[in-house]
A and B are shown apart, each in its own frame.
Chain A
Amino acid sequence: MLRIDGLNASYGSIRVLKDVSIQVPAGNVVSIIGANGAGKSTLLKSISGIMKINGGRILYKERNIAGMRTNQIVRLGVSHVPEGRQIFAHLTVCDNINLGAYHYFKRSNRLEIKERMTRVYHMFPILEKRSKQIAGTLSGGEQQMLAIGRALMGRPELLLLDEPSMGIAPLVVREIFNVIKQLNQSGVTVLLVEQNAKAAIKVAHNSYVLERGEIVLEGSSAELLNNPKVKEHYLGG
């Protein structure tokens, strides 16, 4: 579904991604783990078009989307939940969710939008209770749920999740990983970036390790969980 070949990206003169190549087969969960500053968020931003890249190909459904505008890439079914809950803080929860469907918001799609909204509220019941509240006043965890919910409104076929568990209570983290599994079972392909390496590797079919902008390791959950290097650096020994 997604294939990245030789991706390079930099902030000014600092190279952040060096010849990164990964594959995300349709229907899979693929996770990327790596230390702070390894370039994980930059990779996701490159895919969704927020970050201008310097070279390489990003093939989504056999089509090179590198250099396309962000607001067009969403239309193709790529939804990015950025790091740090980038919700629309001044709008209500309900408006945030509706805006997730912005790119196909038409009278004729009303039923679909309503259906998706019901599904989001079913996944995160707290959002329904808070639906008239200003989003900026939600708790951190609630904002994260809202950000995920908003992305789900956008008809995602490929979901890019950037540290969905950051700053969230362990119990809710488990819930969010369950949501990821559920979504995957319903046919959504997921590319997941996580600090919580163990949970990420477990939920994924396949994982990559990113170090200082380079892919250094790739493997299935079983392979990586037993890899001594991964154990030492990412799973806490």
Chain B
Amino acid sequence: MEKITLASQLLQYFITGLTVGSVYAMVAVGFNIIYNVTEIINFAQGEFVMLGGLIMVFLHVAMGLSLILAFPATIVLVTLIGILIDRLAIRPIRCPSVLTLIIATIAVSIIIKGTASFIWGKNPFDLPAFSGRNPINILGAVIQPQYFWVIGFLVVTAVALSIFFDRTIMGKAMSACADNPNAASLVGINVKQMVLLSFALSAAIGAVAGITITPISLMEYDRGAMLAVKGFGAAILGGLGSFPGAILGGLIMGSIESFGAGLISSGYKDAFALIVLLVILFFKPSGLMGSVEISRIKRF
């Protein structure tokens, strides 16, 4: 048997951290999309991940749909749920303040969780890995191929979104809605449509995260809340609203957790990430990539 060196052990922790971190990053990106359009923190963000995982299990494992079909079908279904949330929980609120809307998203997350436990029960579900479970040996570290799928999908979503928000007028229009909804409608932007689009987009990204991580860590009905907390931490760490920040924040949170669990104690892994979050915010309140210029004129 090969000797496990410290270096290969560290590499193992690092890659595990990046994988977990990729999921946090995707959740954080989802937070940012809705936040950038509405200034709402959508606490149901973690539920999209959970739904992505469980609906994928249903379509792929229970119904026997092939991976190629089940993957987009799951994304479409979760996106529809995101659209429903906007239609049923966000839009009907009269004279909405950001705070009442945030509370509405908390209610939504509780309802989704309850419904999921009713449908799927309380047991975790497994999903076959996309390209098998034969581990790859890299410099002594043993890596599941699924890890690369997770990281790869993070890269794809990150690139697609940064093009969308930085280079297209639609993306700019979405940001304009958060800034000043009245002025946005004065230049011809249909603000309600943009809010809807933001919920649809972040639901889709949540679904991708859920589908890709389930083969590694299984999925059960109540995973959403913890994912939301970590993802929110990652978003804050990177600077709320910043996409590069969300990705950096997610990867840092994931790595700290992984190293903390491996080198110190796995019992405290949730605490490590949050402590680092607090320390960084103490020194840089606008987050790592948050623009100080912009955070000064933000309401939150």
Contacts and interface: CB of A to CB of B under 8 A. Distances in A.
A134 B188 CA distance: 22
B182 A103 contact: no
Given A82-B183, A102-B189, 19 more contacts: A69-B185, A70-B182, A74-B186, A87-B180, A87-B183, A88-B176, A88-B179, A88-B183, A89-B297, A90-B175, A90-B298, A91-B179, A99-B169, A99-B189, A102-B187, A103-B187, A137-B293, A137-B297, A153-B187
A151 B191 CA distance: 18
Specify which of B172, B173, B175, B184 lies most central, judged by the most chain A CB atoms within 10 Å of its CB.
B172
B188 A88 contact: no
A89 B298 CA distance: 9
Interface of B: 169, 172-173, 175-176, 178-180, 182-191, 291, 293-294, 297-298
Interface in A87-112: 87-91, 95, 98-100, 102-103, 105
A99 B293 contact: no
Contacts of B178: 90
Interface in A146-204: 150-151, 153-154
B124 to A, nearest CB: 41
A86 B180 CA distance: 7
List the 9 closest pairs (A to B, CB-CB), nearest first: A103-B188, A70-B185, A86-B183, A136-B297, A74-B188, A88-B179, A105-B169, A88-B176, A71-B185
Contacts, number: 82
Contacts of A75: 188
B179 A71 contact: no
B176 A91 contact: yes
Specify which of A70, A82, A90 lies most central, judged by the most chain B CB atoms within 10 Å of its CB.
A90
Interface of A: 48-50, 69-71, 74-75, 79-80, 82, 86-91, 95, 98-100, 102-103, 105, 134, 136-137, 150-151, 153-154
Contacts of B187: 74, 99-100, 102-103, 150, 153-154
Contacts of A71: 185, 188-191
Contacts of B297: 89-90, 136-137
A91 B172 contact: yes
Contacts of A87: 180, 183
Contact of B175 (A50, A88, A137, A153): A88
Given A89-B297, A136-B297, A80 B186 contact: yes
A82 B186 contact: yes
A137 B296 CA distance: 10
B248 to A, nearest CB: 20
Nearest to A155: B188
B230 to A, nearest CB: 26
A102 B298 contact: no
Contacts of A151: 186
Contacts of B176: 88, 91, 99
